Structure 1
Amino acid sequence: MAAMQLTRTHRLLIGVVVAGAVIIAGIGFAGSYAAVRKLAEEKGFGNFSLVFPIGIDAGICVLLALDLLLTWIRIPFPLLRQAAWLLTAATIAFNGAAAWPDPLGTAMHAVIPILFVISVEAARHAVGRIADITADKHMEGVRLTRWLLSPIPTFRLWRRMKLWELRRYDQVIRLEQDRLIYQARLQARYGRAWRRKAPVESLMPLRLAKFG
């Protein structure tokens, strides 16, 4: 499948999102630097306390950027993402410790990092989806309404979709309709006991569909 073509509007929106994410990251860094540096000084870090907050935030940015890059080229490495969120959680904890025992102050320190996490996760989701579509590897999901209205048959349909690696939802629906029509024809031809009366070669397509 050809690469997705970005319109001028798409590029503009991407620019706005990237700029917003950079601003959020910058505000978060500026807000946490003093608190983390002070905490590091209290813990005896000495002069290293001046660069300790920078090292943590730089590590988060590098790990997340590398995770997005590897996701884009379809060789994701989950440890990068997990390590980045672990460092983010550590930053929140360090900032929260500076405001402790004030619960409101502790919660306020977590707002900006959470916004940053959400924005990066949204970007990662988009990058992964675009990479799958470009490589013709994206697998569409089953609609929520079908799960709610008919959960058990939908699970069977979803199972066959995954086992056969059928990527298009409408294709799966057509195959399911063909299967039901074929089953109805067997019932009309052999009666209620069609599962016992029908020859093996006639039942084989249904059995293959069941096991994927």
Structure 2
Amino acid sequence: MTAALIIVAALTLAGIGLYLSFEHVASFAYEELNFGSLRKGQLFAVGVDTGIMVMIAVDLLMAWLKRAISWIRYPVWLLTGATVVLNAASGAPRDRAWELLDYVAAFAHAVVPVLFIMVVELGRTSIDRVVRPDDQEERDSIPWDRWLLAPVPTWRIYRRMRLWGITSYPEMIRRDQDLLAYKLWLKRKHKGNMAEATEDEMLPMTMAPYGYTVSQALAMPDEQDKAAEKRQEEAAQRQLDASTRRKVAQFKSQEEELRAEGKFEAAQAEVEGEKGQARAQARAKMSAAERAAELEEKELETALVAEARARTAEAERKEAAERKAKADDDLEAARLEEQAAKKRREIEEADRVAAAEAQAIETEKIAKAREAAAEAKRDAAEKEQAAAEAKRDAAEAERERTEEEARQKAAFADIKRAEQAAAEAEQRAAETRLATAEIEQRAVEIEDAAKLTPRERSVRKVARMAFAAGLVTVGLDLDGIHREMCRVISIADIQREFEVSSTDTASKYRQEAVVLIANGYRPEQ
């Protein structure tokens, strides 16, 4: 209710001011400023007064919204002063210079606008104190009698209070008294010769115009030395951190290089093994092909020999048949001769027949003997073929035995290379474990220097375990990092590492490590 009454009174005051100035400003604009018509002069007066009211309304509204525009008051004051001048000028006589009465009239014209501006400023300050109570600073005023008795020193005090934000007048007086007492003590120390005072001893007088107390000015050298030492310590710590990060990055690079070399050597061993197998298979296939060619050649030779022998036996059988046929022809001729000469000589015929028969028997025996020899030759060829097949089987068995020995030697060589590769991998793993231990030790030293709590140390150790297990966070958000963390490190691993039985504690360690990694933590930090 009170606020409503104040607003109504302020609007009434504004209406009175507008009413009093409207006619005079409009007439003065028409008669003296050559606006052309009284209507235009009235529009000019309305425009000036409306501009004042609009800017006042905007100023109060922005102050209420905590977005005050400080410079908008100055155009209001300027336009208000212009209306006062126009009102005073409109009442002054045109044929003489201003007299005392004219100044009194100008003052009378200024009373209501000034009252309105004061009410507006009071309302603006009230709004600031209502909507921003914490931002207001209560400033002590300087007693008026001090202004009368010591205007120059009082002005210096007022200037320092305004420049350096000192709101307490008693505090300002105490500072001046301390400074005066310090000057007297310094003169007494150097027996009145202030030239012997050092720069540090003169600091209170030097820094007093800038709002420093005596104690603050005297403490400046120590504070600056401490600040310089702190900067040096911070610079040394940054250098140490940078050196640590470089070493960690170097060890990490060496670890990755060792891992890459191990993978390369394993791949090379695998490729060499595959090459050895391929070469062994190629040699075996080539040897088998060569042996097969030799056997085929031997079989071909054996077949040719057997065929030649069969042809020879066939030729011998044909020759025996021909001889037998010839013998039959001879026998028939002998019989015919015997029949023709039967009558001439029976005894000779008988002898001749006997001789012919004996010759025929002898010829048949020879043919049978030759046939038996051919059969013997065929049997010998078959036996030779069986012997050749036995030799081929023996050679095949020898080849398989040789190949088995070669495979065993290759297997022994692969086993030896695998054992050597395993030993080298174990050595690299030992080197990696050593590098990891050194990184862990440096991380513990950094954590000791940072004075972290045991829980923070445990969470960081879980993060380092995850990175050591191959955690990759590039391009992952918080959920992705959590899934990747669950993949590379389990609750059981955390329980084993920290010897805790609670799965909830281990799960919380892992969740906090996920948040720590998502915020940018890396083992070298």
1:29/1:57 contact within 8 Å kept: no
1:62 corresponds in structure 2 to: 51
Deviations 1:100-157 (A, max 9, x none): 6799xx9698676423222123225435655776543675543321122223432332
Q: What residue identity is the alignment partner of 2:164?
A: W
* Distance of 1:176 and 1:56 partners within structure 2: 53
Query: After superposition, where does 1:10-159 map in structure 2 within 5 Å?
Result: 11=3, 14-15=6-7, 17-25=9-17, 27-28=19-20, 32=24, 36=27, 39=30, 45-46=36-37, 49-50=38-39, 52-67=41-56, 69-70=58-59, 72=63, 73-77=68-72, 78-93=74-89, 95-96=90-91, 113-127=109-123, 130=126, 135-136=135-136, 140-159=140-159
- Ranked by relative contact order (alpha carbons within 8 Å, sequence separation 6 or more), the top structure is 1
2:140/2:168 contact within 8 Å kept: yes
Q: Secondary structure at the match of 2:201?
A: helix
Larger radius of gyration: 2
Q: 5+ unaligned residues in a row in structure 1: which ranges?
A: 1-7
Q: What residue identity is the alignment partner of 1:172?
A: M
Q: What residue identity is the alignment partner of 1:165?
A: G
CA RMSD in angstroms, aligned pairs only: 4.3
Q: 5+ unaligned residues in a row in structure 2: which ranges?
A: 212-525
Query: Structure 1 stretch 156-165 or stretch 167-176: which is displaced more?
Result: 156-165
Give the TM-score normalised by structure 2: 0.30
Query: Structure 1 stretch 164-173 or stretch 121-130: which is displaced more?
Result: 121-130
CA pair 170-86 structure 1, distance change in 2 beyond 3 A? same
* Distance of 1:168 and 1:55 partners within structure 2: 47
Give the TM-score normalised by structure 1: 0.63
Identity %: 19
Q: What residue identity is the alignment partner of 1:36?
A: S
Q: What residue identity is the alignment partner of 2:91?
A: G
1:206 corresponds in structure 2 to: 205
- TM superposition shift of 1:206: 2.2
CA pair 199-22 structure 1, distance change in 2 beyond 3 A? closer
